[in-house]
Structure 1
Amino acid sequence: MSTTEEPTQGTTISVTEQAAEEAIALLEGESMDTDIAGLRLYVQQGGCAGLSYGMRFDNEPEEDDTIFEHHGLRVFVDPASMNYIEGSVLDYEGGLQGEGFHVENPNVVSECGCGESFRT
């Protein structure tokens, strides 16, 4: 389902303003056009709990991606990943423990001890 429109009820990914600002700054640092390019959020096999999150910048969405826009940031999610992460919030955390993006996923039933992988 390729869309730049509002996704169907219940299938949404949210992005905090802080996460959007950080991602947009990184996109611009890579000289990517933030009107077309975006952050790809996906789920992959791996980690001690079975699944892990992945993120990368893409110049444009794939044909079957769902596209979310929050605070000027475009987020691309493929259909298979959407099954695991719908309803999630992408946040950015800073501090003494390190900085980085974090996915708050309401579908997770357990995480590994390091917090890098999960099970739904």
Structure 2
Amino acid sequence: MLTLTDSATTVVKAIIDQNPDAETVGVRINSQGADANFELGVAVVAAPEEADLVVEHDGARVFLDETATTLLADKVLDAQVGQDGSVNFAIGQQPGV
């Protein structure tokens, strides 16, 4: 299952906390086909889609569509915040996998 680094957890929680409906917000990863291209965006929804996998770590919620769930099963999500406040997400291999 996808895991989150401490940095990614902090960033995702910060995104969630900026929304008034924080209990329903998560960062959603949508696959763009089976060639491992992904789109990352903030989803403000009442609940994840029915087929989504919800990865939750210390209050950070990430919603994965079915294809992303499969392709990211052995991956880790990381995030870096730039000096200008911009966020860059990266997906890497889990250690030991």
- Give the TM-score range, shorter chain: 0.7 to 0.9
Q: Paired residue for 2:49?
A: 62
State percent identity of aligned pairs.
25
TM-score (norm 1): 0.62
Cα distance per residue 1:55-96 (max 9 Å; x no partner): 112223001111111121111111122222211100012468
Q: Secondary structure at the match of 1:62?
A: coil
Q: Secondary structure at the match of 1:39?
A: strand
Q: Take 1:92 and 1:105, find their aligned partners in 2: how far apart are those partners?
A: 14
Larger % of helix: which? 2
Q: Take 2:67 and 2:82, find their aligned partners in 1: how far apart are those partners?
A: 33
Task: Say if 2:64 is the partner of 1:82.
Answer: no
C-alpha change, 1:32 and 1:61, in structure 2 (3 Å) is same
Q: Take 1:67 and 1:57, find their aligned partners in 2: how far apart are those partners?
A: 14
Aligned AA (1:23): V
Q: Secondary structure at the match of 1:81?
A: helix
TM-score (norm 2): 0.74
CA offset at residue 13 of structure 1? 0.8
- In our comparison, the structure showing a higher alpha carbon Rg is 1
Aligned AA (2:15): L
Segments of 5+ residues of structure 1 without an aligned counterpart are 1-11, 107-120
C-alpha change, 1:94 and 1:65, in structure 2 (3 Å) is same
Number of equivalences: 89
Q: Paired residue for 1:38?
A: 26
Q: Paired residue for 1:15?
A: 4
C-alpha change, 1:79 and 1:16, in structure 2 (3 Å) is same
Q: Take 1:16 and 1:56, find their aligned partners in 2: how far apart are those partners?
A: 18
C-alpha change, 1:55 and 1:32, in structure 2 (3 Å) is farther
Larger % of strand: which? 2
Q: Secondary structure at the match of 2:9?
A: helix
Segments of 5+ residues of structure 2 without an aligned counterpart are none
